[in-house]
Amino acid sequence: MLRKQLSLIAATTLVAGALHADAFDIENALKSGSFSGDFVLYGEHIDQKNNDPRFSMGSVGLEYQSKNYKGFELGLGFRANGKISEKNDGYDDDGQPSALLHTASLSYIHDLFSLHVGRQSLDLEWAGDYHEALVGVFRGVPNTTITLAHTIRLAVADVDAPLEKFTKFNGDDGAQILDIAYEGIKNTVLNAYYYNANDLASWYGAKAVWDSELFGLTAHGAFSNEDTMKDGSILHAEARGAFNALGLSAGYITTDKDVGAGSMSMLGDNINPLEEGNQVYEADAKTLYIGATYEMGALSLGALYGHTKYGSDKEKEFNFTAEYAFSDAFSLGALIADINAQESNDDYTKFSLNATYAF
């Protein structure tokens, strides 16, 4: 009996010691995590014939990433946006929060796969911003990344606009995503994907990207099966080149003649290259664009011109951007976007300035 009692005491002591060690390791993993963040001042003015909206705002962001503990990691992030000044309803934050916890995720990381559950950012072909989602990333096939996701809510936390709270975008069904990227060919990424939003639409597509030191090409096509309207489609091709500090690009985007890209952009998009691009995804839209970038020390300049013909109408847009990095932490940026719409009353020019301190 005494031997059994001693064995029980020893086992209890070992378990308590292991739990104490685990608690200590978990505490260390949390305390040793890394923080990053930014402070942004942003101002925007839209010069329009019948209106003149403008606003200025401040934005503060903070993110935390824990150290890995037995494969587990914790991620947290929030952003707070506040209006400084406003004229003519330039800052529309009705019903939206002034602060948003956009990231709150628990991840399990393994050499062959990772699982992420909770609020997190997504950067896929047709899914961006922040999602409440379950995401699995599998790397067991050589040179291949397979992403499976189920997302139910979507939020936006930009530094240049009011926050948009997490909102269901397809009832309780959300959307399911399958994304496969293959990088086994030199300088090439091949991407195929499938999205499904029950009782709304499903869409699928394929994309090929080739980049060398001097030249690059992109070919991309996507098609939707819509439940409540005709099916949509979008095709995109781009060529680009880099010559010392100068970068050049030219591309063409065309959509279905009846419904354009359909529901495909409901979760985010990565095709539209223009700052506004109001008509790029509309029905029967054909967009031709050319652009140039130039790097000169800490100064970065960019210019982009786009011409969209949609049906019998057209819209032209010119973007000019400039950014100067005073240091790794502090930078100033400016944007001019001039839109020449089909109707002259819809013409406008957007001006914006931003100052960013990141740490």
Predicted pLDDT at 50: 84
Q: Specify the pTM.
A: 0.89
- Fold assignment, 207-359: Porin (2.40.160)
Domain ranges of the chain: 1-32, 60-199, 207-359
Predicted pLDDT at 49: 87
Predicted pLDDT at 255: 98
From first to last of its 359 residues, the chain has per-residue pLDDT tens of 434 343 434 444 433 444 455 665 777 878 788 999 999 999 999 999 888 999 999 999 999 999 999 999 999 999 999 999 999 999 999 999 999 999 999 999 999 999 999 999 999 999 999 999 999 999 999 999 999 999 999 999 999 999 999 999 888 899 999 999 999 999 999 999 999 999 999 999 999 999 999 999 999 999 999 999 999 999 999 999 999 999 999 999 999 999 999 999 999 999 999 999 999 999 999 999 999 999 999 999 999 999 999 999 999 999 999 999 999 999 999 999 999 999 999 999 999 999 999 99
Q: Are 205 and 219 in contact (CB under 8 A)?
A: no
Predicted pLDDT at 314: 97
Q: What is the pLDDT of residues 195-211, one digit of tens each?
A: 999 999 999 999 999 99
Give the closest residue to 174 by CA, choosing from 227, 229, 133, 233: 133
Predicted pLDDT at 34: 95
The rounded distance, in Å, linking the Cα atoms of 159 and 39 is: 9
Predicted pLDDT at 156: 97
